Structure 1
Amino acid sequence: MESSCSGTDKSSNYSSSSNENPRVPLSDVVAECVKRWFKDTLKEAKSGDINMQVLVAQMYYSGYGVARDTQKGRLWMTRASRTRSSVWKVSDKRPGYNASDSDSDELKGES
């Protein structure tokens, strides 16, 4: 079985012989995937993708895939808000909750 986040060879192949490929705890595999997700997201955010800038900010605010750093979260949210001011509404939301989700919630309330 191959890990869907197989950037490292530690979990690339399980076999019946534990001496060939020792099993890696699932929590370690997931933690590695989350760290990689942050790195990939950061790369896209640096290239100017506003949605990824918001996601990086949320990840910094919550410490998801990276050490918690509210100052860096604020910097990324500020960068994204230059194009879309509504991003501040989701700064305290879980990673992945985006400004368009928030905007559609507001529209429902106005109907």
Structure 2
Amino acid sequence: MENQRGRESSGGMRLSEVVAECVKRWFRDTLKEAKAGDINMQVLVAQMYYTGYGVPRDAQMGRIWLTRASRSRSSVWKVCDKHPGYNASDSDSDELKGEN
């Protein structure tokens, strides 16, 4: 514990700060790929906007990115309220389980 306090006072970062920075970096990297046309990354950016993961929560931006992704794959609308990383194929699998 003493060692951790020493690091914090000497300019080190807390774990929560490191994690927050990693999440923000993940969003920036994902956004770059989404802008380049990667549909999976477009869905992920939308989920991140909807949940506020790595970026301030913004449902309108989430819809914009899902609309862009849905031009190629309409099933993306099934995942708009899911956590980042949940994809349409997961959603489709859940529906198939319910039908059996």
Task: State the TM-score, normalized to the length of structure 1.
Answer: 0.78
RMSD: 1.7
Query: Quick one: higher RCO (CA 8 Å, sep 6+), 1 or 2?
Result: 2
CA distance in 2, matches of 1:39, 1:47: 13
Which of 16, 20, 23 aligns to 2:12? It is 23
> In the TM superposition, what whole-angstrom CA distance separates every residue of 1:22-44 from its partner, at most 9, and x where no partner exists?
32100100000000000000011
Residue number in structure 1 paired with 2:29 = 40
Q: Which consecutive unaligned segments of at least 5 residues does structure 1 have?
A: 1-16
Residue number in structure 2 paired with 1:99 = 88
- The count of corresponding residues between Structure 1 and Structure 2 is 94
Q: Which has the higher helix share?
A: 2
Residue number in structure 1 paired with 2:3 = none
Identity of aligned residues (%): 78
Q: Which consecutive unaligned segments of at least 5 residues does structure 2 have?
A: 1-5
1:3-82 alignment, distance < 5 Å: 18=7, 22-82=11-71
Cα offset, 1:90, TM superposition: 0.6
CA distance in 1, matches of 2:97, 2:68: 28
